[in-house]
A and B are shown apart, each in its own frame.
Chain A
Amino acid sequence: MTRRKLALAAAAFVIAGAAAVLALGTSPGRAKSNAAFKVAWIYVGPHNDGGWSQAHDEGRQYVQKMLGSKVQTTYKENIAVGAQLQQTVASLVSQGYKMIFGTSYGFFDKALAAKYPNVLFEQATGTDVAKNLAEYFGRAEDTVFLSGMAAGAAAKCNTIGYVVAYPIPEVIRHANAFALGAQVMHPGVKVRLVWTNSWFDPAKEKKAAQSLVAAGACVLGQNVDSPATGQYAESQHIPWVGYDSDASKFAPKSWLTASVYNWGLYYLRRVKAAMNGTWKPGFYYGTINDGFTKLAPYGPGVSAKAKAAIAKKEKQLENGSWYEFQGPLYDQSGKLRVKKGVRMQVLKGGTNSLYGMNWLVKGVIGSPKG
Chain B
Amino acid sequence: MRVTVERRLRQPRWLAVAVPAGSLVFAFGVAAIVLVATGHDPVSSYRQLFDAAFVSTGSLDQTLIAATPLAFTGLAAAAAFRMRIFNIGAEGQLYMGAITGAAAGLYLGGRGGPSAFVIAAMVVAGCAGGAAWASISGVFRAFFGTSEILTSLMLNYVAGYVLTYLIFQSESYWRQTKGFNATVFPTGKPLPSSAVWPGLTVHAQGGIVLPLGAGLAVLAAVVLWALYRRTRFGFEVQVLGDSAGAARYAGVRTRRKILAVMAISGAIAGLGGVSQDGDFRHALDGDPNGLQKQAYGYSGIVVAALGRYNPFAVVLIAFLIGGLDNAGNTLQGADFPSGLVGVIQGIILFSALGGELLVRHRVRVVRRASAVAAAPPAAAPEASP
Contact = CB atoms under 8 A, between A and B. Distances in A.
A128 interface: yes
A2 B13 CA distance: 9
Contacts of A127: 180-181, 184
A338 B222 CA distance: 63
Interface string A208-252: 000000000000000000000000000000000000000000000
A118 interface: no
Interface string A1-40: 0111011111101110111011011101000000000000
Contact of A126 (B19, B20, B184): B184
Contacts of A105: 184-185
Interface in B183-232: 183-187
**Prevailing SS type, chain B contact patch:** helix
A369 B66 CA distance: 32
Interface string A114-132: 0000000000011110000
Given A74-B335, A128-B181, 11 more contacts: A4-B310, A8-B312, A11-B320, A13-B17, A18-B50, A22-B50, A25-B43, A83-B65, A94-B57, A170-B185, A356-B184
Contact of A91 (B52, B164, B281): B52
A7 B280 contact: no
Interface residue range, chain B: 35 or more
Contacts of B185: 105-106, 125-126, 166, 168, 170
B45 to A, nearest CB: 9
B316 A81 contact: no
Interface of A: 2-4, 6-11, 13-15, 17-19, 21-22, 24-26, 28, 44, 46, 60, 73-84, 86-88, 90-91, 94-95, 104-106, 125-128, 166-170, 197-199, 347, 351, 355-356, 358, 369-370
Q: Which 8 pairs of residues, A with B, have the shortest CB-CB distance? A: A25-B43, A28-B44, A6-B16, A7-B313, A91-B330, A80-B293, A81-B290, A74-B333
B165 to A, nearest CB: 9
Contacts of A13: 17, 20-21
Contacts of A81: 285, 287, 289-290
Interface string B305-331: 001101011001100100000100110
B180 A355 contact: yes
Contacts of A24: 43
A91 B328 CA distance: 11
A74 B329 CA distance: 12
Contacts of A78: 338
A83 B334 CA distance: 21
A347 B180 contact: yes
